[in-house]
Structure 1
Amino acid sequence: MRSTPPEIHPPAADGRDGVPTVAGGALLAVAVVLTALNLRPAVTSVAPLLGEMRTDLAVSATWAGLLTTLPALCFAAAGLAAPRLSSRFGLGRTISAAMLALTVGLAARVVDGPHVVIGATLVACAGIALINVLIPVVIKGSFPARVGLMTGIYTAALQGGGALGSAVTPGLEDPLGGWRLALATWAVVAFVALAVWLPAARRHRGTWAEQSRVSARPRSLLANPLAWTVTLFFGCQAFMAYIVMGWLPQVFIDNGIGKLHAGLLVGLVSLIGVPVALVISPLAARSANQSGWIVGLGVVGFAGAVGLMVAPAAQPVLWSVLIGVGMGAFAMALAVIALRARTSEDTAQLSGMAQGFGYLLAGTGPFLFGLLHDMSHGWTVPWTMFLVVYAVQIVAGALAGRARYV
């Protein structure tokens, strides 16, 4: 395991193709933000309209369960393939193709029946998975002195896009005449992001190609203990995030809180993550060691989970705020991926490993939480499992946050 910190060289005055680096950097920063805004609405826009979709398509609850499980499984499978695709076809081209797949998938899923919805969702989620893995590589390679700031902005845009997907889509259904055009709106947003990404990627392709000149046989991180620690940290926080998104509304409703209020509380959890990402991630990245920040966020979120287990209806707003702060670990997990790698190649390998295996773990979270609820006929046992995983996340995060390199 190498421990020498990476060298950071200042950018050249002029980019490739005679384009000033500052202008190219600004365009690329905008492209990253627009891309991030599109990485969650493909998933979050479906949940509020799922009832109407089932009625219109005459499908079963099993079909609905498959549709909502696909993202995590797809994130895992395509995420593991991202480093190899990037190495073969180039970083810019791979992300461009992924953005195109996302746009086409979002547009195609509304044109026909249930099989097309599933297939097109698979295409869109495959595109999202590739982008999830490769954007940290872009940030590491193109903003080496601003990794924390750009990671915070990217994470805030990603979480904000998720909140918009669930909040805005239901309001589009009536004006646009149904769920199909309401969901199709996000294909237009994805197309705009693609239109900005293409020229930004073209400006930087020379730099990315130079950074990508590595050995023909990329180094595997599967035997690297630090890489597995980062993967465990990422997987645990994603495991709990999927549980919160999938089950927290029902927990509130079963404890006497109205459906509308419960939905607003879950929206609050997502929104809290935006300022946390914008403020905490850049501050933490300036330190050689991020362990203290990770543990601090974990303790706050752990306290919120205890409140939800013991007395969910007593202080639901407080518990939601605490859980939302704790879910800021997502921004820290992305920052750690970039900060624990010395090169763009290692960043791609670590990002693919952490997100690939991490989302496999995350996909089991909602299922296990629901299974334990059914078996115990209550919420105490599943919340106990949640707290155990939270403790593992805090420990893994503290180890992953130390100033070491894979």
Structure 2
Amino acid sequence: MSGRALRGILLWWAGADLRITLLAIPPVIPLLHRDLGLDESGIAALSNLPVLVLAASSIFGSLFAARLGARRALVAGLWLIALGGALRGAGPSVPLLFVMSAVMGGGIAIAQPALPALSRAWFPSRVPLATGIWANGLLCGEALSASLTIPLMLPLVGGSWELSLAAWSVPVALTAIACATVRDGGNVAAPGERWFPDFRDPRIRQLGVYQSAASLAYFGANTFLPDYFHATHRPALIGPCLAALNIGQIPASLVVGLIPLRVLGTRAVSLLVAALLLAALAALLLGGAAAAIAASAVVGFFGAYVLTMSFALPAVLGAPGEVARISAGTFTLGYSIAFVTTVLAGAAWDLTHVAASAFAPILAAAAIAAILGTRLGARLQR
């Protein structure tokens, strides 16, 4: 196997490892209720804890990349993901479950900013393709653990949710071992390099808000679709729409990887993406069953498209020594904005008792894509 092919495989698996342990929790929620007595608030806190840690700690991922080099930072982050993910079920204990989930989130926060820098170091002339590879891995990692835990992993480990969580950490550890053996420019450290994001930098502010559109659409839909269909007396649509939402993500990373960014960065494409999301929102609110399923796939595609673009742009718009720092600032702003906005949308539903108000984040995502997608595209063209 050539060195380029091996690096591509490692990038894909590293991307998958960012989510494969994270999405192993939802399938075992009934078992957590049974064994640990967690209520819905506890489950919500557990599910969102790694994302909050990611928003708060991505800056330190930039520090690791600057001091250790992108590859070593990735390896360190992967080991934290593997150890934290595996030890969540040790005990079993509620405090340990939360502490190890936070450790796992810290590992994701270290590894994720390293991947854009590593994409540039390993594939300097094919940055969008490299970004598409690890972004596709990230999206597939979400689908793998979410869809295979119940039919495959739990039977393999005798129905133990604790061993199931540990088993999903095995591929993460194997990727860490494999990445540690690669010897190339992805391991260059820069002790004097600035690592703290400059939030006055318009690139970071624009990219952070732009990336938030992906989370607003994807996490907003995941959070509110089930309750919305219950409220509108269509619970049979929950499963098909959630499946379409997640499957619809996967082609988006291929689009970014294979179509030149100078094409994707045009004003026409940004406006088209925003218009498709608005049409999908209208179909969710007003259409029948088939329209709702198709609309969910469009929302998933939109979220993954914007997310993958936001992964690629720091490596294209920044100098080599800035990539991890810009990426860290982007993740910090993007995930923070999405979390606050989604919480406010839930509060609006509670106050108004209008179910459709919960989809305000998707409306905001369309506006962000139209406005900032155009501005970032113009910067990219220059």
Amino acid at match of 2:76: A
Equivalent residues in 2 for 1:269-288, closer than 5 Å:
269-285=245-261, 287=263
d(CA) in 1 for partners of 2:344, 2:168: 31
1:163 is matched with which residue: 126, 139, 143? 143
1:59-88 deviations in Å (ceiling 9; x for gaps): 333322211121221111221111122212
2:323 is matched with which residue: 326, 329, 347? 347
C-alpha spacing 1:91/1:388, structure 2 compared with 1 (3 Å): closer
Equivalent residues in 2 for 1:170-319, closer than 5 Å:
170-171=150-151, 172-175=153-156, 176-200=158-182, 203-204=183-184, 207-208=185-186, 210=188, 212-213=189-190, 215-217=192-194, 221-258=198-235, 261-285=237-261, 287=263, 289-311=265-287, 313=289, 315-319=291-295
Is 1:38 matched with 2:17? yes
Residue 252 of structure 1, CA deviation: 2.9
Aligned position for 2:377: 401
Aligned position for 2:88: 109
Identity, in percent, stands at: 21
Aligned position for 1:360: 336
Aligned position for 1:390: 366
C-alpha spacing 1:339/1:296, structure 2 compared with 1 (3 Å): farther
The alignment's C-alpha RMSD in Å is 2.4
1:265-304 deviations in Å (ceiling 9; x for gaps): 2122222221121124431425494544333222212211
| Paired residue secondary structure (1:403) | helix
C-alpha spacing 1:33/1:385, structure 2 compared with 1 (3 Å): closer
C-alpha spacing 1:333/1:220, structure 2 compared with 1 (3 Å): closer
Is 1:99 matched with 2:78? yes
Is the Cα contact below 8 Å between 2:217 and 2:361 reproduced in 1?
no
TM (norm. structure 1) is 0.86
Amino acid at match of 2:145: G
1:231-275 deviations in Å (ceiling 9; x for gaps): 11012222322212222233234333345x522321222222211
| Paired residue secondary structure (2:378) | coil
Amino acid at match of 1:81: F
1:147-195 deviations in Å (ceiling 9; x for gaps): 1112112111111110112111122334522322222221112122222
Equivalent residues in 2 for 1:14-29, closer than 5 Å:
23-29=2-8
Unaligned runs of 5+ residues in structure 2 are none
Is the Cα contact below 8 Å between 2:244 and 2:294 reproduced in 1?
no
d(CA) in 2 for partners of 1:256, 1:219: 49
Amino acid at match of 2:201: N
C-alpha spacing 1:37/1:181, structure 2 compared with 1 (3 Å): same
| Paired residue secondary structure (2:21) | helix
Aligned position for 2:44: 65
Is the Cα contact below 8 Å between 2:57 and 2:109 reproduced in 1?
yes
1:340-396 deviations in Å (ceiling 9; x for gaps): 11x222111110110011111122243223212211223222224531342123211
Unaligned runs of 5+ residues in structure 1 are 1-21
Amino acid at match of 2:124: P
| Paired residue secondary structure (1:38) | helix
d(CA) in 1 for partners of 2:365, 2:249: 20
d(CA) in 1 for partners of 2:370, 2:339: 20
Amino acid at match of 2:364: V
Is 1:331 matched with 2:313? no
1:42-62 deviations in Å (ceiling 9; x for gaps): 222211221220220123333
Runs (4 or more) in structure 1 with deviation over 4 Å come to 212-220
d(CA) in 2 for partners of 1:230, 1:195: 32
d(CA) in 2 for partners of 1:366, 1:222: 23
Aligned position for 1:16: none
Residue 118 of structure 1, CA deviation: 0.5
d(CA) in 1 for partners of 2:131, 2:197: 24
Amino acid at match of 1:57: L
Amino acid at match of 1:178: S
Which has the larger displacement, 100-109 or 230-239? 230-239
d(CA) in 2 for partners of 1:288, 1:254: 38
Which has the larger displacement, 58-67 or 290-299? 290-299
TM (norm. structure 2) is 0.91
Amino acid at match of 1:320: S
